[in-house]
Amino acid sequence: MKCLTTLAACAALATTGLCAMAGEVTLSQPGFGASKVDTSGRLVEDWGSVGFRLALNGRSESLTFQVVQTKLNGLVPAALGKCASLGLTVESTAYRAPAHPSGLDVLTLRIANPGAADVTPLLTLDVPPGAVVGERTVAVGGRTVLSLPLPPNVDQEVREWGACDESQPMPGWASPNVPCDPAFRNIRAGMGGVPIKYRFAVEPREAVTVALGFCESFWAVAGQRLMLARVEGAPRQSVDPVAKWGQHKPGIVTFAGRDANGDGQIDVAVSPASSSGDQNPILNAIWLLPAGAPTDSPALISGAMNKTAMRFVDVGGPGDQAIYGSGKAEFTLTVPARGSRELTFIVACPGASVTPPSRSAWTAATLLKAASDVARDAAAR
């Protein structure tokens, strides 16, 4: 194992008391699971690991870092990795931020271009097979594990139907207390106000009947979880499941939907009403039926129409899927001559998931400040 690129740099780190042999670095905080940066610089979590590839001028390389421990702001324990690739120098830092409720890992990549001309490399995130790349997130097994600093160039399979945002499957969340299809037990929830969105391929301009199934098992009284359900081509409807049907009681809301914009897809979304105290919308089941088909709620609730529906989705159940198949997250970055680009990824540490950037107030700067404040307080004790 080599030390840092220069002895001077190594000596500088040694003064922090943390020198500086290359090797694994553990990221941790009291009371929570640790993660590590391995000897090649990959950040290893309980859901898998994340690394990077760079491509430029027809050449492509996995980034392999020399890794040492360091302290950011002289306070925050961190892993520092350095490497040279394709004429660029790349530095990565990773540290644990004490964000509520169970911490976050913060991974920053700084790509520097020592050359006299701008370059535009392609940076690829190397994540586990089957990872689903969203607009600003990566999910593994339905868990949002990465928040992305900018939208990726998405190159991935788009399926016939599926969930298309950052809602979370929660199998077995609901406890219906009357006979009904088992699909009512599994839900998706839009934690933190994320809308639950689905998209279904149909013929352009096709009309379909859409039935949404709900069952509330947390709130016992009406007026707690107020939702707005929208199906393309139909007026939106307010849904308060406890007011309509009661706690633990399945219910159905139907829509005369239509592919109004002619893109060959029907969009379905369930969002929190702005006045709702509980901002986490839920959804239990979806049926797509021919336009004008009878929508007999008891028959839908019993599961008797699952087979004859054009599409039946046990939302949050074993057959549920994302609209995007597995794919790669790639970023095309221009790195100016004698300049650099910096990207910060927020990464789920053991037991945690991350909030999409649109729903999170954290930035690279505020996370580092929070981590520094906690480290300073700990040192003062």
Region of 65-73, 183-191, 221-229, 329-337 interacting with Ca ion (CB under 5 A): 183-191
Q: Which residue, 133 or 315, is less far from Ca ion as judged by CB?
A: 315
Strand order through the sheet with 207-214: 251-258, 207-214, 285-290, 311-314
Q: Which residue, 98 or 316, is less far from Ca ion as judged by CB?
A: 316
Answer for which of 105, 165, 181, 259 binds Ca ion (CB under 5 A) is 259
CB of 265 to Ca ion, least distance (A): 4
Q: What is the 3-state secondary structure (H, E, C) of 187-198?
A: EEECHHHCCEEE
> Do the Cβ atoms of 44 and 38 come closer than 8 Å?
yes
End-to-end CA distance of the chain: 35
**Does the protein bind Ca ion through residue 265 (CB under 5 A)?**
yes
Answer for which of 106, 148, 289, 315 binds Ca ion (CB under 5 A) is 315
Tokens of 9: 């740099």
**Does the protein bind Ca ion through residue 330 (CB under 5 A)?**
no
Answer for which of 50, 140, 183, 300 binds Ca ion (CB under 5 A) is 183
Give the interface size with Ca ion as a residue count (CB under 5 A).
12
**Does the protein bind Ca ion through residue 167 (CB under 5 A)?**
no
Q: Which residue is nearest to Ca ion (CB)?
A: 186
- Nearest residue to 56 (alpha-carbon basis) of 18, 87, 101, 24: 87
Answer for which of 137, 186, 276, 355 binds Ca ion (CB under 5 A) is 186
Residues 276 to 295 in contact with Ca ion, rule: CB under 5 A: 284-285
Q: Which residue, 27 or 163, is less far from Ca ion as judged by CB?
A: 163
Region of 12-20, 23-31, 123-131, 181-189 interacting with Ca ion (CB under 5 A): 181-189
Q: Which residue, 105 or 259, is less far from Ca ion as judged by CB?
A: 259
Q: Which residue, 113 or 284, is less far from Ca ion as judged by CB?
A: 284
**What's the rounded Cα separation, in Å, for the pair 197 and 320?**
13
**Does the protein bind Ca ion through residue 317 (CB under 5 A)?**
yes
Report the DSSP beta bridge partners of residue 352.
Answer: none
Q: Which residue, 58 or 179, is less far from Ca ion as judged by CB?
A: 179
Q: Which residue, 144 or 265, is less far from Ca ion as judged by CB?
A: 265
Q: Which residue, 106 or 266, is less far from Ca ion as judged by CB?
A: 266
Q: Which amino acid type is present at position 106? A: V
Tokens of 58: 């027809």
Handedness of CA 222, 227, 231, 234 (dihedral sign): positive
List of long-range contacts for 54-60, beta carbons under 8 Å, 24+ apart = 54/85, 54/86, 54/88, 54/90, 54/111, 54/121, 54/122, 54/123, 54/124, 55/86, 55/121, 55/122, 55/124, 56/86, 56/87, 56/88, 56/119, 56/120, 56/121, 56/122, 57/86, 59/86
**Does the protein bind Ca ion through residue 314 (CB under 5 A)?**
yes
**Does the protein bind Ca ion through residue 263 (CB under 5 A)?**
yes
| Contact residues: Ca ion, CB under 5 A | 183, 186, 259, 261, 263, 265, 284-285, 314-317
